[in-house]
Amino acid sequence: MKKTVLFLLLAILGLSIQAQTFSRYYSVRYVKQHLLYHKDKGVNVVDFDLEWPEYLDFSSEKILQNRLCQILFEDNDSSLGQGKLFFLSRFGSPVTEKFDTIPDDSKFCYADCVLRLLAYEKGKWASFYYMSSVKPEKNSFQKAYAKEGYLTYDIIHRKIYDADGLLNNSKVQAHANDVENNLLSDIFQASGNQLSSDIKYIGVSYQGCLLNSNLWLSATFLDEDNYSYPVNVELPFSQVKSFLAKDVRRLIDSAPVKRTAEIVDSPDYMDNDTAKIYTTVDSLPQYRGGRAKMLSFISNNFRVDNVSSHSNMARVVLSFVVEKDGSLSHFRSMQCVDPSLEREIIREMRLMPVWKPGTLRGQPVRTMLFQSFNVM
């Protein structure tokens, strides 16, 4: 019933808009790719699922982009395009033809890069979950590694807080036995059924980040037999603020930063995509069947469980490219309301049947559009 009610209230109010210039106040690029590479008779399967921050509060935030390149691609560049190229270079060349023989399964390697935007507090911070792994089979020449975690980027002071910098660890330990002021007790109570009171826990490790008004903690408890028990909780700032590091408390209490607008003639799509993308055409691309059919498609495919929260009115603004064949690519969120809502809308758009492409002088061309969704 909840799902049906939501869809009856979902409305696409914004029309597709052509734009020659726009302000880069906020731009997060959504990249989802499944690639096949080969090197030294080995086959490498590479998957990217990224929500990459291009602009936050009129700034490209090179410090943040550089850190993300280091984490995900093991590269010291500060752009998504160059970082991806560096990462892919270790896997050889793209597979462009059918194999003459069936590849040896033992020489396969599987690589994954994931980046999720978890929260954006306008003018203050942005928080992310990341995962990067390379998993070679026994006869692959690739080297295995894996990393996973959370980080919060301080937009005001241009600092990055990871698991070590987020909490005041000395204070957490000092109050470990204080029943009235104990972060561990707060985690235990908030965990619901994730932890058992019948087990004696002897240690705990933390990862986490700032959400909009809560602290997200991914904690792992250890028992006497060295078994681990992972638990994920959200705790209000008011409840845990005393356990946060001094600089993090200062960030929460700070006023949002205000920066000057930067106007960009056209977006940088990177990834060596040099084919021209038009912003002005004779005939705009259209969803086949019009707005009503598009609304029906979204309603039928929307997954409420994928969205973490709902506002009474949420306006999602996306830019994307309609290719010559009507497929959609190069998704960007241009206004952050709830990252999980934007992620779900983009997931649905990737499932859509091909559009009617834009045309210029009677020929189909790649066309950049903006689409506004008002969700109630």
pLDDT at 10: 45
pLDDT at 319: 92
Same domain, 64 and 144: yes
pLDDT at 176: 55
pLDDT at 7: 42
Query: What average pLDDT does the segment 151-172 reach?
Result: 88
Same domain, 136 and 110: yes
Assigned domain for 206 exists: yes
pLDDT at 163: 77
Tens-place pLDDT, residues 312-367: 567 889 999 999 999 999 999 998 888 999 999 999 999 999 999 999 999 999 99
Q: Is the pLDDT of residue 3 over 90?
A: no
Distance CA 306, CA 311 (A): 15
Same domain, 143 and 183: no
Of 27-31, 146-150, 167-171, 198-202, which range is least confident?
198-202
pLDDT at 227: 85
Nearest 5 degrees, angle CA 130-CA 62-CA 77? 75
Assigned domain for 250 exists: no
**Which of 363, 277, 375, 272 has the alpha carbon at shortest distance from 320?**
277
pLDDT band for position 175 (cuts 50, 70, 90): low
Final residue belonging to a domain, choices 128, 160, 192: 160
Strand partners, 113: 48, 132
Same domain, 182 and 207: yes
Residues 6+ apart with CB under 8 A from 163: 149, 150, 206, 207, 208
Distance CA 11, CA 370 (A): 16
Same domain, 124 and 191: no
Same domain, 139 and 173: no
pLDDT at 205: 79
Same domain, 40 and 148: yes
Residues 6+ apart with CB under 8 A from 186: 235, 239, 240
Tens-place pLDDT, residues 16-69: 444 444 557 899 999 999 999 999 889 999 999 999 999 999 888 999 999 999
Same domain, 11 and 47: no
Final residue belonging to a domain, choices 114, 143, 160: 160
Distance CA 109, CA 38 (A): 10
Same domain, 42 and 146: yes
Assigned domain for 44 exists: yes
Distance CA 84, CA 145 (A): 17
Of 135-139, 258-262, 327-331, which range is least confident?
258-262
Of 56-70, 133-147, 293-307, 358-372, which range is least confident?
293-307
Residues 6+ apart with CB under 8 A from 72: 50, 83, 87, 113, 115, 130, 132
Confirm if 100 and 124 have CB atoms less than 8 A apart.
no
Final residue belonging to a domain, choices 212, 244, 276: 244
What is the amino acid identity at position 162?
D
CATH number for position 127: 3.30.565.40
Same domain, 37 and 156: yes
**Which of 264, 226, 355, 297 has the alpha carbon at shortest distance from 27?**
264
What is the amino acid identity at position 265?
D
Q: Which domain holds residue 210?
A: 168-244
pLDDT band for position 77 (cuts 50, 70, 90): confident
Same domain, 14 and 69: no
What percentage of the chain carries pLDDT values higher than 70?
Answer: 85
Assigned domain for 249 exists: no
Residues 6+ apart with CB under 8 A from 367: 18, 277, 278, 279, 281, 284, 285, 321, 322, 357, 358
Total count of residues recorded for the chain: 376
pLDDT band for position 2 (cuts 50, 70, 90): very low
Number of structural domains the chain divides into:
3
Assigned domain for 11 exists: yes
Assigned domain for 145 exists: yes
Instruction: Give start and end residues of each alpha helix (H) in the chain.
Output: 2-8, 62-73, 80-89, 163-166, 169-174, 183-190, 237-240, 246-253, 290-301, 339-351
Assigned domain for 253 exists: no
pLDDT at 191: 80
pLDDT at 272: 61
**Which of 231, 237, 13 has the alpha carbon at shortest distance from 121?**
237
Both tokens of residue 353? Answer: 């049947």
Full-model pTM: 0.88
β-pair type (42-56, 108-121): parallel
Confirm if 374 and 314 have CB atoms less than 8 A apart.
yes
Assigned domain for 23 exists: no
What percentage of the chain carries pLDDT values higher than 90?
Answer: 53
State the DSSP code for 60: -
Same domain, 75 and 150: yes
Residues 6+ apart with CB under 8 A from 77: 66, 69, 83, 86
Distance CA 7, CA 149 (A): 34
